[in-house]
Amino acid sequence: MEFFLQLLVNGLSLGFLYALSALGFVMIFKSSSVLNFAHGELMAIGAFIFLALSAWAGLPILLAFVFTMIGSFTLGFILEKFFLRPLIGEALIQVIMLTLGLALMFRGLLLFIFGGDIHDYPDFLPEALTIQWGAINIPSVYVAAFIIGILFLILFGLFFKYSSQGIYMRSVADNQPAALSLGVHVRRVFALSWAIAGLVCAISGIVLGIINGINVHELSSIGLKVFPVVILGGLDSIGGAILGGIIIGLLESFTGGYISTSLREIIPYIVLIFILMVKPYGLFGLVEIERV
């Protein structure tokens, strides 16, 4: 029973990490329907900027965090401006391949600058966040991740629901020509959504870095793990991404605990194929109606 509970807690916290890393992905997909294969690398860039600023340059944590946010916001903006914009209207495969190429570029660059070793942040989270409940122990990083996740969910929910920019984004995602004819500045919406996605990626990268240590390979493999998560939840649903993340996290944790540790890495993809066979647009995804 205790083993079960520990697995449950592990799975939930892992799932929350996945959910957190899926947010930036859903963000991009929701406004520009681009499948971002460079997601893990974007997270790694954010994590490394924060590392360089906080541990190496010796800035105070809060200041380093703010600068990282500004940097990743700008990076997202630049990415959209120079790489994604020329591809508006191109075939899907071109866009997918472009993000794959960007992923290779970023990975090479990060490995060149920071090397393939695992780096660690200095400890800065207060110990008071640790939750000790019977035999179950939840480290403070997970609690912090949980708080950040909830905060994000609420913030983005409000952003998409009430702010004018959020409504523009939804309108662009829904029907681009209609949004254009109603006077929505579609290019600005794309740029903004990539910039925000860059920012979200950086935050999830930092949280993942605090928990597992920062490593380019690790983060880029988590970037691929995002696919089962978002497919499960439906590519354009933020709530679905959270739920999908938690389901995948639990699944991995229980498979690792009860069946075999090697199967753990692959089980999300097996489930993914079955889900797609039953519900082709994910559990909460918007069903596209096609006309000839």
Partner 1 sequence: MRKLQFHPCGNFNVSYKEELAIFDTDFGRLWMWIGMLLLFAVVPFISSAYFLYILNTIGIYAIAAVGLNLLIGFTGQISLGHGAFFGVGAYAGAILATRLGFPFWLSVPLAGVVASGVGMIFGLPSARLKHLYLCIATLAGQFIVDYVLVQWESLTGGAMGIVVPSASLFGLDLGSDRSFFYVVFICFVLMTWIAVNLIRTRIGRAFIAIRDNDRAAEGMGIPVFPYKLLSFAVSSFYAGFAGALYAYYMMSITPEPFNLGLSIEYVAMIIIGGLGSIPGAVFGSVFIVSLNEVLSMITEYLMNIGASTGVALTIAPLREFIYGLAIVLFIIFEPKGLAEVWRIVRSSFRLWPFSY
Q: Which two tokens stand for residue 57?
A: 């340059």
158 is a site residue for partner 1 (CB under 8 A): no
Q: Which of 12, 2, 16, 22 is closest to 241 using CA atoms?
A: 22
Q: Please enumerate in sequence order all residues whose Cβ is within 8 A of that of 176, keeping only pairs 6 or more positions apart, or say none.
A: 186
Which residues make beta-bridge pairs with 138? 131
Question: For partner 1, which residue of 97, 118, 158, 178 counts as binding (CB under 8 A)?
Answer: 97
- Give how far Cα 69 sits from Cα of 7, 20, 102, 258, Å: 34, 16, 20, 40
Q: Of 64 and 251, which has the nearer Cβ to partner 1?
A: 251
User: Based on CB atoms, which residue is closest to partner 1, 95 or 210?
Assistant: 95
| Range 131-135 contact pairs with CB under 8 angstroms and sequence separation of 24 or more | 135/2, 135/5, 135/6
Q: Would you give the distance in Å from CA 88 to the centre of its chain? A: 23
Q: Is 128 in the site for partner 1 (CB under 8 A)?
A: no
- From the list 56, 60, 63, 101, which residue makes contact with partner 1 (rule: CB under 8 A)? 101
Site for partner 1 in 55-84 (CB under 8 A): 83
Q: Does 259 bind partner 1 (CB under 8 A)?
A: no
Mark 141-179 as b/e (b = at least 16 C-beta within 10 Å): bbbbbbebbeebbeebeebbeeeeebebbbbbbeebeeb
Judged by CB under 8 A, does residue 266 bind partner 1?
A: yes
Q: How far is the CB of 136 from partner 1 (least distance, A)?
A: 31
Q: Which of 170/279 has CB closer to partner 1?
A: 279
Q: 94 or 175: whose CB is closer to partner 1?
A: 94
Compute φ and ψ for 131, nearest 5 degrees: -110, 125
173 binds partner 1 (CB under 8 A): no
Whose Cβ is closer to partner 1: residue 15's or residue 268's? 268
Q: Tell me the window of 17-25, 86-94, 200-208, 236-244 that interacts with partner 1 (CB under 8 A).
A: 86-94
3-state helix, strand, coil in the chain (%, to 5): 75, 5, 20
Kindly state the smallest distance separating residue 101's Cβ from partner 1, in Å: 3
Is there a contact between 236 and 169 (Cβ–Cβ < 8 Å)?
A: no
SS3 38: coil
102 binds partner 1 (CB under 8 A): yes
250 is a site residue for partner 1 (CB under 8 A): no
Residues in contact with partner 1 by CB under 8 A are 35, 83, 86-87, 90-94, 96-98, 100-112, 116, 224, 227-228, 231, 235, 262-263, 265-266, 269-270, 272-273, 276-277, 280-281, 290-292
